[in-house]
A and B are shown apart, each in its own frame.
Chain A
Amino acid sequence: MQQSEELLEDRTLERATGPERVRATFRIYHPDLEPEKLTELLEITPSISWRSGEDSYGWRKRPGFKAPSGAWLLSSRTVMRGNNASAHIDWLLDQLTGKANMIKELQNRGFMIDVVVGWHATSWNTTPSLSPDLMRRLGKLNLPIWFDVYLFGSEEHEI
C-alpha cells in the first residue's frame, strides 16, 4: 500500500514537472548547405530543409523572410507521440545509427550540427533528464544537445 502511494506520488510529481509538449530535432546548418546532397549522404529524408536565401523558409514559412543559412532538420515532431523526451531523442538517434563518421566529417567542414529538445512546460519548475545510455549515444555521435525550455505557458518560437 505504501509502495503504491509512493508510486502515485512519483507519478504526480512527474506530471507536475514534466513537459506538456516535447520534440527532438537533429539540426545541420551551413551557409552553403545543399539539402539534396545531405539527404543523399545521410540516406535519410529530412523533416524540413532549405537553402540560404530561400524565402518563406522553415516551419513557419513566413513570406518575406529569407533564410540566413541553409538547414537540414530531422525532427521527431511528426513521428513520435507522447511527452517522453528520452523516447524522442532515442528515435532520433536510431535514425542516425552508423552515421558518426559522416557527422564528424561535416563538423570538420564547418557544418554546425546539434540536437535540440523543444520542451514546453506549463509549470514554473520542470526537469529535463538524460540517462547514461542516452548520453553515451549522443557522445559517440559527437552531438551536443540543448533543451529549449519554455516555462509556465510562455510562447514557443519554432526553431
Chain B
Amino acid sequence: MNFETQPQETYATLRIYHAQLEPEQLTALFEIKPTMAWKMGDQIAVADSEKHNNAPSSVDAQTGGWLLSSKHSVRSTDAMKHIDWVANQLANHGSSIHKLQQAGYTVDLVVAWFSDSWNTCPALTPELMLRLANLRIPLWFDVYLDKPMDLSVLG
C-alpha cells in the first residue's frame, strides 16, 4: 500500500432500513441524532441529481431509513478513522442492533471510497473487525473510480 492507493475522500455511514421504521424511535433508542432519517412514503432528496438531467430531485421513499454518517464529523482520508467513529457512536448498542435485525431491519455499514487511481486498497485491522463483529454489523466498501459525491440517500 502507498499514498497512491489511498482514497481522495472516504466516509462511513451506518444505515438502517425498514418499511415500518419510525425515525424518532431509533433516535431515542441510540440516543444519537441521525444525519438523515425518513419514513416510508416521505419525499426524500435524490443525491447528485444534477448529474442526471432527467432525474427527479426527490422521490417517494420506498422504505423508512435512518442514517448516521461520519462525513461531516471526521476529517480524514483514513477509512478506519471513519469506521471507528461510527463504532464509537454505537458502543454498548450491540444488543439493540441485534434486536432490530431479528425484527427484520436491514442494518449495515457502508464505506464510501472515492479513488482517482485504478488501483486502490481498502483495509481493516483485526481490532476494528472485532468491534464490528461484536456489533453484528456487516461492512462493505462502495469503491468508485470517480470524484467524490454525496451517496447519502443511495442504496
Contact = CB atoms under 8 A, between A and B. Distances in A.
Interface of A: 124-133, 135-136, 138-152, 154, 157
A98 B124 CA distance: 22
Contact of A129 (B126, B135, B141, B146): B141
| Interface SS of chain B | mixed
Given A132-B137, A133-B133, A139-B130, A147 B123 contact: yes
Interface of B: 1, 115, 118-127, 129-130, 132-146
A136 B130 contact: yes
A130 B120 contact: no
B119 to A, nearest CB: 5
A149 B140 CA distance: 13
A131 B139 CA distance: 6
A157 B5 CA distance: 13
B118 A154 contact: yes
Contacts of B143: 125-128, 149, 151
A135 B124 contact: yes
A33 B133 CA distance: 32
B150 to A, nearest CB: 15
Nearest to A125: B144
B90 to A, nearest CB: 13
B124 A151 contact: no
Contacts of A125: 142-146
Contact of B124 (A126, A145, A150, A152): A145
12 contacts: A128-B140, A129-B141, A130-B139, A132-B132, A132-B136, A135-B130, A139-B126, A141-B126, A142-B126, A145-B129, A146-B124, A151-B118
B138 A130 contact: yes
A147 B141 contact: yes
B22 to A, nearest CB: 24
